Structure 1
Amino acid sequence: MKNVLEFIFDRNMNAKKINNYLRQVKGIKDKKISSKDKDNVRISCVERQIKVVKSIEEYANLLKGFVEEAAQRESDIVVFPEYNFFDLLGLIPAFSRINDYLNKKAQKGEKLEDGVSGEGLLRFIFQSISKSSQRAIEEIMTGFAKKYGIYIYTGSYIINENGNLYNGGALVSREGKILGRQKKIHLTDFEEKIGLKRENELEIFSLDIGKIACPVCMDATYFETFKIASQKGAEIVILPIANMEEYNFWRALRGIWPRVQESYVYGVKASLNGRIGGIHFTGKAGIFAPIDMTDNKDGIIAISPHYEGDYLVTSDINIAKLYEAREMAEYYGDVNEEFERDYYGKVYSNFKRGDKI
C-alpha cells in the first residue's frame, strides 16, 4: 500500500503532466547529428545550483535550459550532476519552510536537532519518492534527447530495484532511448547510513562518439574504478558529483583529475551545488585530459569559473589524439603484478590470487 508521500509524488509527477510539458518543447528541427569527424567530440557538462521547485514543469524547465544551450552549441552530449533530483523535494508539503529553517541554522553554525534530518527520515523519503521521480526524470530526459538530437547523461537519482535503493543514472541516446543505467559502486558514509545499496559492475557504453563509462562521484576516489574503465576500453569517463563540503581547491583535486592522469582517458565532471536540508554542496564542473594533451600542461581542458552557481562548460575532445598520447606516454599501461595481487587481496575480501581487475 502506498503512503501519503508516494501518492503526492505520483499525482504531481504523472506521465500526463510530463507529456503535456514535452509537447510544448520545440527542440531543434534541423538537428546536426554525426556531421563532424567522428574523432572530434563536443561535450557539455553542467554545473548547477539546487533550486527547490513547486511543480514537475518547473523542474523540467531547469533542465531544459542546459540541454537547449548544449544543443545550440552543437554538443554531442550533455552531462548532468549527481543527486540531480534534489529540487523535487520541494513537492513535499511544507518542505520549503523546513528547508529554509535548516539551511539558516547550518549557515549560522548551529547544530541541527536530532531526528530532523536523521537517516531514518531520509531513507523513508527516498524510498517513497524513488519510483515516481525516476520515472519522471527518465521521461523528461528521453523526451529532451529526442527533441534536441543529443546524447544525455541524466545525472544521478534514486533507483529502486526490488525495494533496494541505489544512487545511479542513465545514458540516453539521441533518439530518446535509455542505453543503460550505472549505479554507484563506492558509497559515502552518509549513503551507507541511509541504507543505499552498491553496484559491483562497471559498464562500458559503445557510442558513435566513443566508449563511455559513467561511475558516480565517490567512485573516483578509488583508482581501481578508472583502471577498470580504461582496461574495458573506455575513452571518456563521465563523473557526476555532489560534494557535501566547503570548497577547497586541493581537496577537489582528489577525484577525477588524478584518475585521468593515471588512466589516460578524458574525464567529464558535472557538479551540483547549493544548500538543501542544512547540507552545503560545492564543486566545479570541468573537462579533463592527461597533462601532455592540455595547452597549459595542467590536465584541464575547460573548467567553470566558480564552485557555486549555474554554468555550462563546453569543449571539444579528440579520440584519435588520446590514442596518440597513450602511445607516447612512457608509463601508460605499466603494471606491478606482485603489488597488485597483494593489494587487492588485502583490500577486497572476495579477491583471489590470479583474478584480473
Structure 2
Amino acid sequence: MPIAGSTEDRGRRIRLGMVGGGNDAFIGAVHRIASRVDDKYELLAGALSATPEKSQASGAALGLPRVYDDFKQMAVREARRKDGIEAVSIVTPNHVHFAAAREFLKRGIHVICDKPLTSTLADAKKLVKAAEASGALFILTHNYTGYPMVRQARAMVQEGELGKIRVIQVEYPQDWLTIEQDFKQANWRTDPAQSGAGGSTGDIGTHAFNLACFVSGLEVESLAADLQAFVPGRRVDDNAHVMLRFAGGARGMLWSSQVAPGNENALRIRVYGEKGGLEWAQEDPNYLWHTPFGEPKRLLTRNGAGAGAAAARASRIPPGHPEGYLEAFATIYSEAAAAILAARDGKPTPDGIIYPSVRDGLKGVQFVSACVKSAKRNAAWVPLDH
C-alpha cells in the first residue's frame, strides 16, 4: 500500500509540536510541509525561536493555538495537558538538539529530530540512553532514505541482486559556501559552537554516510579522512575526502564539499558487487540504474516496470510524474506516523516500517568525530567509536 495510508489513519492525526523552525528558517518550513503531505499530523504548539519575541511572532504567523517562549516551558506544559502534543519536531541548530530532545523524551513525547543527532559525541551517547530509557520513539530525519528508488536500491542489495558488495562510492557536493557568507543559515553552520566540530562532514557528509550504510546494509568499521577549510578563517571543514572500510571487506570513498562550484545538491551513490552495480542521483531521483555484470545497463523508474514493493509503498503518484525532496521528507514523517499510531494503540510497529533511529544518529556523530580525529593525525586510519 502506498505510504499515504488509509482513510482511517487520516482521521487520527497525531498532535505535533515544533522546536525551532521560525519564519526565517528554511528547514522548519520543510518539516511542516512534510508533516502535512499525507495528512497524518496536526501542528498545535511550538517554541519556534531562540527569543520569546521571535517565537511568539512566528507562532502568530503560523496560526498555532499554543506558542511558548522556550522548549522547556513547552515540554512541561504540553505533558500536563490531556490534549497535549504526542510528538515534537526539533529543527534547531545542532547544539540545541540534545537539550531539547531530552526534555520531551523524559516526558514520554516522541521525538522527530533533524540531523546530525547532536553537536558532540558525548551528547549523542547520552541521548541514545535517554531515548531508550524513555519508551518514546526517536526518529532522525535522514530524508534521503525516503526516496522510492533508494528503497528500491536497498531492497535489491538485500535480495542479493548485486551479490557480495565490494565497493561503495558516495558523494554530496554543494557550492553555496564557496565564499564567506553572512546570513543565518551560513553563520551557524560554520560556527563550531553551534554546528559541532564538523562542517561539511556534519551538515551533508552525515547524509552521504547514512545513505551508504542504508543502501548497502553494511557498517563502517574504520575511516581515513582528509579535511580542508579552504575559505580563509573558516573554523570547520568545507571539504572532505574520506576512505571507508566496511565490515565484511567492502571498501568505500566519501566526498562531501560545500565549495564545489556548479554543484547544488548533488548527492550521488554507486554500489558495486560481484554480480553488478547500482547508481542513483538525488537530483534525478526517480531513476535507478542497474547494470548486471556483462549485460546492458538498465533503467528502473519510480512505479515503473521492474520496480518492486519497497519503492511502491514509498510512492504517491503514477510513474512519469516527478516526486522529489519534499515527498521523500514526507515519507520519513509517514513512517514515523505509522509507528506512533501503533504505539498509541499499544501495538508493535508494523512490519516494513523504516525510519532512521537514534542509533543511526549516533553512528553519524561517530562518523564526524572519527573524521576530525583522523584529519588531525594526517588522515590516519581510525576506528569508529562504537
TM-score (norm 1): 0.31
TM-score (norm 2): 0.29
